[in-house]
Structure 1
């Protein structure tokens, strides 16, 4: 997880359908209130990417095909199913987002490059229709998946300063510093 990064450029290598199923089964273990599984994924490969390319341009009010879906051999649309009235919609979207993130970590660990992409029109009627979304489903974005290209130079990324993002409840005791040797 510490080395995960987005791969905006990937090779033509992608997991097969059966390989993807293994990754999705693992990602589906995300925390999920009432075990609703309020999500589904749409696998977009090959010429199906042209359907997405046309829909992206149509949603933007343009003709023709967007070049974006040709940036990866596999695109996985992430859909949240918000049909449950017992669980808040935000929580159902959080579960679907969690599945997408877990899936991206599993794919990264397996050697695939992943880039999560959204669009200004992600929630448009045009893209909902193109993805065959049912009433109560919303498109959260897409995972672009492909092989990791060889690096010619090392990538230097700043580490996350966790202390800046962790606080205590007001009035609580002061946090003790983390002993990284235990991690």
Structure 2
């Protein structure tokens, strides 16, 4: 198998990570590589926000505000590094909004694969807070932007299982275009 195929098959989401995290320079190199994802018209309709230290506490307060809670959420403290994935919509005749979201999602997924391959634990979290005003304000989102979630990144715990992910049967999800029916041939 190829290196990329092996890496994809070996990837596991890790909801529990250690306090270690890639530094900014290392993260920037992964972002540079992830940015090569398919991008119709090269719009680059995405950006990432690096949250470390007290940024995570601010996010916990924004979660609490969004959810009507009195105490800050501890969810953002579950990893030393959170990477907010933002879609930045561009007006385009050629590229609809859904395709711009797909590009931003592709960057996030590619980044998670690169981080995992480099030995970091990664988990993509979403939820209702991604669309809340309080959380958008905390991230400084513009009117043309939406939050797609966060990559939680940290060290892989020593007891992490290293076995392969259970693969799916590709034939179950792969089909050919239906053949023309005789009634269609007359059209």
What is the alpha-carbon distance in structure 2 between the residues aligned to residue 134 and residue 28 of structure 1? 21
Equivalent residues, number: 172
> Which runs of structure 2 are paired with 1:143-158 in the superposition (5 Å)?
143-151=151-159, 155=163, 157-158=165-166
Q: Which residue of 1 aligns with 2:139?
A: 131
> Which runs of structure 2 are paired with 1:11-30 in the superposition (5 Å)?
11-30=18-37
Q: 1:78 to 1:171 in 2, by over 3 A?
A: same
Q: Please state how far the C-alpha of 1:83 moved relative to its aligned partner.
A: 2.9
Q: Which residue of 1 aligns with 2:107?
A: 99
Taking structure 2 as the reference length, the TM-score comes to 0.88
What is the alpha-carbon distance in structure 2 between the residues aligned to residue 161 and residue 69 of structure 1? 35
What is the alpha-carbon distance in structure 1 between the residues aligned to residue 164 and residue 96 of structure 2? 40
What is the alpha-carbon distance in structure 1 between the residues aligned to residue 79 and residue 98 of structure 2? 29
1:42 aligned to which of 49, 53, 56 = 49
For the residue of structure 2 that corresponds to 1:114, the secondary structure is strand
> Which runs of structure 2 are paired with 1:71-90 in the superposition (5 Å)?
71-86=78-93, 87-90=95-98
Higher fraction of helix: 2
Q: Please state how far the C-alpha of 1:152 moved relative to its aligned partner.
A: 6.4
Q: Please state how far the C-alpha of 1:163 moved relative to its aligned partner.
A: 1.1
Could you give the per-residue CA deviations for residues 116-138 of structure 1, whole angstroms, max 9, x where no partner exists?
00011211111111110011100
Would you say the 8 A contact 1:83–1:137 is kept in 2? no
For the residue of structure 2 that corresponds to 1:134, the secondary structure is coil
What is the alpha-carbon distance in structure 1 between the residues aligned to residue 162 and residue 19 of structure 2? 22
Q: Please state how far the C-alpha of 1:160 moved relative to its aligned partner.
A: 1.4
Q: Which residue of 1 aligns with 2:4?
A: none
- Can you give the 5+ residue segments of structure 1 that lack an aligned partner in the other structure? 173-183
Q: Please state how far the C-alpha of 1:66 moved relative to its aligned partner.
A: 0.5
- Can you give the 5+ residue segments of structure 2 that lack an aligned partner in the other structure? 1-7, 181-187
